[in-house]
Amino acid sequence: EHLPHDSSSQYSESHHQIPIFFSDQLAKFNFGQGHPFHPQRFAHFLKLLERAGLDKSIRRMKLEPATQEDLGLVHTDAYLAYIKHLENINGRITMDTPVNPDVTEVQGLIVGSGLQAADLVLKDEGIVHTFGGLHHAGSDYGEGFCLYNDVAITARGLIERHGQKRILIFDT
């Protein structure tokens, strides 16, 4: 949680700012008390940047939600209907992955931010940061806290919407 403060790594106002897709809405990504995926983790990341003196090197970007068409780049219609059903009854995909309106809203924002970030990269924006990585969901299932697979949706969007031939994904 502690980043060293290195004044030589600080960006001045004239340097390029790294876009970070962040919204206070991300705090609604809450699976309940005691769940290991804590909703404040996103805000804590920004506080770490601030404590390290790097907050001037970022530009907060507004998150746009994924559309049904976006989600359909990877997920089946039947699966998306199942998620909507579970959302309406506050159900669960697995023991560790509840489905409620807040979770589906935030995961839709995360998927949308992946697509937005891809657009920026294609415009030579350089490095872009999202709070994505919801890669445990498949075309017709979710697990591991993931309802939608933002990584696969972003890759498919780059291929189908932007004509990219190859996509390299680093899963760290």
| Range ranked top by mean pLDDT from 22-36, 78-92, 124-138 | 78-92
For 25-75, write each residue's pLDDT tens digit.
888 887 777 777 777 888 888 899 899 998 889 999 999 999 999 999 999
- pLDDT at site 15: 53
**Strand pairing category for 58-61 and 18-21:** parallel
H-helix or E-strand spanning residue 18: strand 18-21
Paired tokens of 76: 């089946």
- pLDDT at site 1: 42
Distance of CA 2 to the CA centre of its chain: 23
Give the phi and the psi of residue 135 in degrees, each rounded to 5: -95, 10
Give the residue among 36, 76, 77, 71 at the shortest CA–CA distance from 148.
71
Q: How confident is the model at residue 11 (pLDDT cuts 50, 70, 90)?
A: very low
Mean pLDDT value of segment 130-151: 92
Percent of the chain past pLDDT 90, that is, above it, reads: 52
- pLDDT at site 7: 40
